Structure 1
Amino acid sequence: MFEYQGKRVVVTGGASGIGLAIARLFAQQKAGVVIVDLNQQAADGAAADISSANGARVESVACNVGDEASVAEAFAKIGGPIDVLINCAGIAHVGTLASTEPADLDRLYNVNVRGTYLCMRAGLKPMLEKGSGVILNTASIAATSGLADRFAYSMTKGAVLSMTLSVAKDFLEKGIRCNCISPARVFTPFVAGFLAKNYPGREEEQKKVLAASQPIGRMGTPEEIASLALYLCSDEASFLTGVDYPIDGGFFNLR
């Protein structure tokens, strides 16, 4: 099951966090993986590490997902075919409507919404030419649940969810599936950095506070999100499209 031999998988934001865990797992399943990331050095390093670990063919491409020219150039380098596109590139922001400045909103929109749109649009063409493909976007529980101090972030993830459903509907008869994953809190390098910056000396204490917001009593791991992505993009999930798939430690139903 979950065999990706001969398939080409593009992962944006693939040099760290959830994207990196996804790139590793798909490479282990013999996919040809392309890591797309803003940081060329980090992308090169991730590709080299994964390749040396299991002998997989891993490429790396630098790209600013919010910039149309950069995305066009990156996907021209990637070329075709593309069997799977997984959009993990994203940024966060803490703030309410009152404290969120227009520049904050624009910055998050540019990466999380425009970036997802531009990469889906670029990845769609080779999928249409092939007559098949899978797109998986990264949304969040913030898309459908009111979270304190996450005004701009929630807006962007709601847009990702809406775009996912629209693409799934419009290209259903073209052989293209489109779903999204909505994680609750996942302990990534971003979260670790956030704790170090905002709670110096109290990181472990605050980590427990974040973990307690999930009924299961802990944050998720990038590897757990990667395992769900592996299924949703596989042939075994061929009956799944237009789905927002929560992976939330019981956040929605058990609070």
Structure 2
Amino acid sequence: MHFFNPPQIMALVEVIKGDYTSEETLRRVMELAKALGKTPVLVKKDFRGFIVNRILGALFNKVFWDVHLGRAKKEEIDAAAKYSARLPMGLFELADYIGLDVLAEIMRILSDAYGDRLKYCPIIDELIAQGNLGRKTGRGFYDWSAGRPNIPKELAKEYDASEFLVVAVNEAAWIVMDEVAETKDVDTAMKLGAGWPKGPLELADELGIEEVVSKLELLFSERGEEIYKPCPVLKDYVKRGWVGKETGRGFYVY
């Protein structure tokens, strides 16, 4: 059982089925989670990152490299996350909340598991070396000494939020392709575990899967980074004409 912090508030529990987990054990654990007042989602295989951390890890990876390579400023990305994508907080703000030392370990684990697609970005190493671990030490990407950082809304127009949203969709599609979780469970996990207003696969169906693939292919052609290479599931759905709400079928049937 993977609870989310703070566990007394967060409703989500990821229930991970191991290679030798019996159906009876799985049933009892799911019932236990419900008895605790939680919403369990089934992770069908013990893959690194499970659902939420794997998708968030892809997002952190993408935006960390954007700042590290000088493509954008952290405030622009966070403004786009909060005010364009309607996420609960900016991604660098969230990194500070998690703790940069903790996040670095997560990112290394994901990099080891998924290779160049989630290639580790060293942007946080210097901050960690300086003892700036985020909110808990008063400084990380932001200065927290006066409270939560102010992220100007007008900066949202300086960064295209669709860049990290299509990365989230892509990693969610890989989770489905790897048979780690069902579509609905992926979306439920992101809504309850990360506070997203819509799950990434719901979002894909709304945007149009062909548009997601087109954006990913454009970014991959420009940058050559594996994180932008479209998951085969996305390309297969486009080939079949299953591109979302507009056609009555995508990740969901309408």
TM-score, normalised by the number of residues in structure 1: 0.25
Compute the TM-score of the two structures, normalised by the length of structure 2: 0.25
Q: Which has the higher helix share?
A: 2
- More strand per residue: 1
